[in-house]
Structure 1
Amino acid sequence: MEDQQLLQLIGQGDNDAFSKIYKKYWKKLYVMAYNRLKDKKQSKDLVQDLFVTLWERRERLEIESLDSYLYSSVRYGVLKQVASHKITVDFFDALENLPLQASSADTNIVSKELWAAYNDMVGTMPAQRQKIFRMRFEDNMKTKAIAEELNITQKTVQNQLITSSQQIRSLLTIWMIFACLLFGRI
């Protein structure tokens, strides 16, 4: 049975048609998500959510090409997870790997620009917030250790980290998506 016929049946609430679509595409979509996210649970959840959404919206979806729709949905889901994930941690992981992956002058330029953008953003923070941010994310110190060293409460450290993370998240999100696209991770 063709995908379009199955979609019409799904639109009418046919569980068997939905099961056929699920069985046909689940593994391919999971592999696609996993190749980009490198996390089994996130990949599984993303694909499961996609199929739940497909079922919930079955009566009002107008899909011309099911495989294009599903693959685009996975790509969008991956981008959404990258954007909403704790970018600061992933940012440093990706940044550390950039020189190893450098294969062209463009890559070196991107790496330098990314570091410059990061340093500029952190440099705009108030002195104490900047210090707390660097201690946490560059020196990998725990919030309790930072609080003790700076003689402030752990709650103050946490609040400063939340504020600083929010301050740079949008910039890092854009750069991370760009870097992931550039290096074939998305």
Structure 2
Amino acid sequence: MFSQSSSNYASLSDADLLTALYSDDEGSFAEIYQRYCYRLFTLAYQKLKSRETAEELVQDLFENLWNRRANHEIQQLEQYLFSALRYRIINYIKMQQVRSGYELYRRLHTSEADSTTENALALNELSAALRASVQRLPAKTREIFQLSRLEQYSVAEISGRVHLSEKAVEYHLTKSLKLLRIYLRDFLAVALAVFWHF
């Protein structure tokens, strides 16, 4: 393990910091955080326009870096951090798109009593499409999607429940979002048309 005073970590290269990190050196982790946190936050904020969400994604990235330090094989620290953050940003945006579809469905559903017969039929079709689309997902992907989007479990919590790595859970979530966007494309278009009549 490295034995450094906190003032000396700043002089270490990224490669040296990684070596120390793999040896459970908390000082090296603190220096990595100090060195990259603001730049990563700035990128996330520029893309998402939400301070809270940007902070959450960056914190999750660093938490993952520390918790999985023994399993990482990082060649270029800066490249790894920014690539990992971009993946989180893209995944967050995809999840928001699916959430928006569900929110739209809920808004339509609450207005069902006041809608015309034609609108009521469209709502029923949309409801059936949502249920059918989720049921069309492969079993494991469907289970993980429901835990994440309907029961609000985190990736780490789902990983423990389904006995898969966090990376595998993230893969299933990405897969579910891609499939649902395909399955629901036509029905969301119909739902938007109905919505604008309210």
How big is the shift at 1:44? 1.0
Higher relative contact order (CA 8 A, sep 6+): 1
Aligned to 1:149: 115
Deviations 1:121-165 (A, max 9, x none): xxxxxxxxxxxx9xx57xx9553222332476xx96883473488
Q: Could you tell me whether the CA contact under 8 Å between 1:147 and 1:157 is conserved in 2?
A: no
Q: Secondary structure at the match of 1:10?
A: helix
Change (3 A) 1:33 1:12: same
Q: Give the structure 1 partner of residue 26 of structure 2.
A: 15
| Cα separation, partners in 2 of 1:141 and 1:51, compared to 1, 3 Å | closer
Q: Give the distance between the partners of 1:146 and 1:60, measured in 2 at CA.
A: 51
- Give, in whole Å, the separation in 2 of the partners of 1:161 and 1:39: 32
User: 2:182 maps to which residue?
Assistant: 170
Corresponding residue of 2:53: 42
Give per-residue Cα distances to partners, 1:82-106, cap 9 Å, x unaligned.
122134749xxxxxxxxxxxxxxxx
- Identity value in percent: 28
TM-score, with length taken from structure 1:
0.55
Return the offset for 1:45: 1.0
Distance in 2 (CA, whole Å) between partners of 1:168 and 1:62 is 33
Corresponding position of 1:159: 127
Letter in 1 for 2:85: V
In structure 2, distance between residues paired with 1:47 and 1:40: 11
In the TM superposition, residue 17 of structure 1 has moved relative to its aligned partner by 0.8
Task: Report the equivalent of 2:164.
Answer: none
Paired residues, what number?
Answer: 126
Letter in 1 for 2:112: I
Q: 2:50 is aligned with what amino acid? A: D
Q: Deviations over 1:43-102 (max 9, x none)?
A: 111111110111111112111110000000011111111122134749xxxxxxxxxxxx
Distance in 1 of aligned mates of 2:44 and 2:13: 24
CA distance in 2, matches of 1:164, 1:81: 24
User: Gapped runs of 5+ residues in structure 1?
Assistant: 91-132, 174-186
Contact 1:143 1:157 in 2 (8 A): no
* Alpha-carbon offset, residue 5 of structure 1: 0.7
Normalising by structure 2, what TM-score? 0.52
Q: Is the 8 A contact 1:7 1:17 kept in 2?
A: yes
Structure 1 residue 41 displacement after superposition: 1.8
Structure 2 regions of 5+ residues with no counterpart? 1-11, 135-178, 186-198
